[in-house]
Amino acid sequence: MVFFMHYCKSTHSLARLLAVLLALWLSISVVCAEGITVRKTEVRFSDGSYQLSADFDIGLNFVVDQALTRGVPLYFITEFTLTRSRWYWLDEVIVKNKQTAKLSYNKLTRQYRITRGSLFQNFSSLGDALRIISHQSAPPIDATLLQNNDNYMAALLLQKGDYIAATRMRLDVTQLPKPLQVNALATQDWNFDSNWYRWIVRPAVSAADRESE
């Protein structure tokens, strides 16, 4: 009987320990899901042009989500750069692009809206809206228009070597209402920044280049 009671207490203690560990794991998972991280990057060469693109994971915390549902629009800024290293001088900036996506919520229609310039899309759920914002692409660069421009993209098209592409997405707190801007400076609740992610780009080799090798 004593052994049975001791066994039951041990089993109960183990169950409580497992419950605590599970709760801790779930809380860590939620924390890790908040913020902006780079999931995948890509550069494509198609129809005579290059295009940089990136997929991000975006997870809003409780504070930011509540502000959004109460009518505070969020501005996500995505940046792309393409540079070429030079041993004799500063790195050459080949491409530099910045774009803004505004995310807002309409209480009357209960819809989320993404606005880019004069264009907008409506969504019934926050998840659908964030999935669209999470995929970003830089404008395509027409290779045929830039082949004779030595100061711009010709280096990428005519010379062999590797280039460094970089991307970043962040929440622009400067466009928040003034009271929230103060709060954003005092806490980490509004610190949404993927930081710069860099990867190597190898230019496409033309048929003429392959024959000359």
The CATH number of residue 132's host domain is: 2.60.40.10
Asked if residue 144 and residue 63 are part of one domain, the reply reads yes
Question: What is the rounded CA–CA span in Å between residue 67 and residue 102?
Answer: 14
For residue 197, what is the enclosing H or E element? strand 197-201
pLDDT tens per residue across all 213 residues of the chain: 544 444 444 455 544 534 433 444 344 434 446 899 999 999 888 887 889 999 999 999 999 999 999 999 999 999 999 888 777 778 878 889 999 999 999 999 999 999 999 999 999 999 999 999 999 999 887 664 344 444 444 444 444 457 889 999 999 999 999 989 988 888 899 999 999 999 988 766 543 343 444
Tell me: do 1 and 91 sit in the same domain. no
- Do 124 and 19 reside in the same domain of the chain? no
Which residues are CB-neighbours of 112 under 8 A, at least 6 positions away? 103, 104, 105, 106, 122, 123, 124, 125, 126, 128, 129
Cα(88)–Cα(156) distance, rounded to whole angstroms? 18
The rounded distance, in Å, linking the Cα atoms of 50 and 163 is: 13
pTM: 0.74
Residue 77's DSSP bridge partners are 100, 170
The answer to whether residues 3 and 107 belong to one domain is no
- Residue 210 is which amino acid? R
Residues 5 and 43 in one domain: no
Side-chain half-sphere of 188: how many Cα atoms within 13 Å? 3
177 and 204 housed in the same domain: yes
How many distinct structural domains can be found in the chain? 2
Q: For the chain, what is the total number of helices (H) and then of strands (E)?
A: 7, 10
Domain that holds residue 71: 35-212
pLDDT at 204: 62
17 and 85 together in one domain:
no
Looking at residue 194, its pLDDT comes to 97
